[in-house]
Amino acid sequence: MKILIVGNGARESAIAMKLKSDRRISKMYFAKGNATTDLLGQNVYEDSIEGLRDFAIKERIDLTIVGPEAPLVAGIVDEFKKHNLKIFGPRKRTAELEGSKAFSKKFMQTHNIKTAKAVVFDAYQSAINYVREQQFPIVIKASGLAGGKGVVIADDLAEAESTIHKFMIERIYGDAGIQLVIEEYLRGFETSIIAFSNGTKLFPCIPVKDYKKAGNGDMGPNTGGMGSVAPSPEFTEEHQRDFEENILKPTLEGLHSYKINFKGFIFFGLMVTGNGTYLLEYNMRLGDPETQVIMALLENNLYDVIMDCLEGNDIELKFRDEKAVCLVMCSGGYPRQIETGFEIRNIDKISHSEVLFAGAQMRGNKTVTSGGRVLSLVATGETYDEACKKVYADANIIHYDYEYYREDIGKF
């Protein structure tokens, strides 16, 4: 069995680590991969959909798993299916639930999914007129993909007006800002729930806490994720019931009513307030760094559950009754200006956690930094404290120039 994994983050490293001991898999390819995947299989420097399709045909790939959103939104699944290539993920039309916040908000509203009140705007002046009547803070979202930067929480009218101008007139994120979603600000804590879809049903994984801000105590700018913990310690059974009843169930009904029977992952970005669990967004893929802790606790064989979903079979997900913590080590300055190309030292000296590389590449026999999020350290334990001590013990041993990580991941 040959597998192709699209993506190059620690998420894709975690998928690869989970699959590596499966004896049915003879070879794994990664496009474009990183220092971890370089050791587990072959990195392929191809990123166009046509190039990946041709590669999958030529190498007779049996299964393709897609990590990031961009190829899904660009239609990689449609293209692969046209050529009878097996691929796990939503078609372009379904990926719009992530690719267009206007579409996903309308989907949520149509199907009575519990979400923040919002209005969609196509015209600059109506957006401006609307915010002039609102209370602050208010949340302004570019509808299209903007690399995680298209959401601004405006504290006052001046910030709201300038954000609308930047998104719609200056087009700082290009076409992503043609439409805006302006929504009510919800105060609470966030939780991520990722579910497998087999075309007719959704099978949710354990809830995960993701640390989005760059600095300790959730200070500083938003990032792609500085760490994660599973199961989320704040998310109670009552929050889970609220999620299942008011978000999961109507989402499935909505998918059925749109005749969407996709096989892939669906990620629910949740905000839990005093009034319960709200859906902020869908991602039509696995999350990063959520995947790192989910894979650490997932008992099922990943290849089997994916194949079962592709065949439309029901699955029963099982998770170890332990805690998992993922600490992301970055290049200093991330998510803004960074410098890369520095050797990562002492990787062979760590013993408590698993290293999953992201922005790191092999250069000869050295591993060097090549991106903002350099690597994830993942450990499990009976308690959060135990798992947390393991990742920090190893973070103290690994060194490279300008290393940076948060000090408070998994500490409660």
| Least Cβ distance, residue 283 to ligand AMP (angstroms) | 8
Q: What is the dihedral of CA 236, 200, 322, 39, to 10 degrees?
A: -140
Shortest distance, position 147 Cβ to ligand GLY, whole Å:
10
Of 61 and 181, nearer to ligand GLY (C-beta) is: 181
Number of helices (H), then strands (E), in the chain: 14, 21
| Residue 70 binds which entry of ligand GLY, ligand AMP, none, CB below 5-8 Å type-dependent | none
Binding of residue 89 to ligand GLY (CB under 6 A): no
Q: How far is the CB of 190 from ligand AMP (least distance, A)?
A: 6
Q: Using alpha carbons only, what angle is made at residue 325 by residues 319 and 330, rounded to the nearest 5 degrees?
A: 135
DSSP one-letter string for 66-80: E-SHHHHHTTHHHHH
Q: Which does 394 bind (CB under 5 to 8 A by kind): ligand GLY, ligand AMP, none?
A: none
The residue number with the shortest CB distance to ligand GLY is: 287
Between 56 and 230, CB nearer to ligand GLY: 230
> Least distance to ligand AMP from the beta carbon of 9, Å?
17
Exposure b/e, 28-66, CB count within 10 A at least 16 = b: bbbbebbbbbbebbebbebeebeebbebbeeeebbbbbb
Site for ligand AMP, rule CB under 6 A: 116, 139, 141, 151, 153, 183-186, 190, 212, 269, 271, 280-281
- Decide: is 210 part of the binding site for ligand GLY (CB under 6 A): yes
For residue 174, the 8-state DSSP code is G
Contact assessment for residue 222 and residue 212, using Cβ atoms and an 8 Å cutoff: yes
Which residues have C-beta within 8 Å of that of residue 364, sequence separation ≥ 6? none
CA distance 143 to 282: 13
Nearer to ligand GLY, 147 or 312 (CB): 147
Question: Which residues in the 278-317 window bind ligand GLY by CB under 6 A?
Answer: 283, 287-288, 290
Please spell the DSSP secondary structure of 107-169, one letter per residue: HHHHTT--B--EEEESSHHHHHHHHHTS-SSEEEEESS--TT--EEEESSHHHHHHHHIIIII
Q: Which does 225 bind (CB under 5 to 8 A by kind): ligand GLY, ligand AMP, none?
A: ligand GLY
* Residue 287 binding: pick among ligand AMP, ligand GLY, none (C-beta 5-8 Å cut-off by kind): ligand GLY
Q: Does 242 bind ligand GLY (CB under 6 A)?
A: no
* 12 binding ligand GLY? (CB under 6 A): no
Minimum separation from the CB atom of position 285 to ligand AMP (A)? 13
Q: Which positions lie near ligand GLY, rule CB under 6 A?
A: 210, 225, 283, 287-288, 290
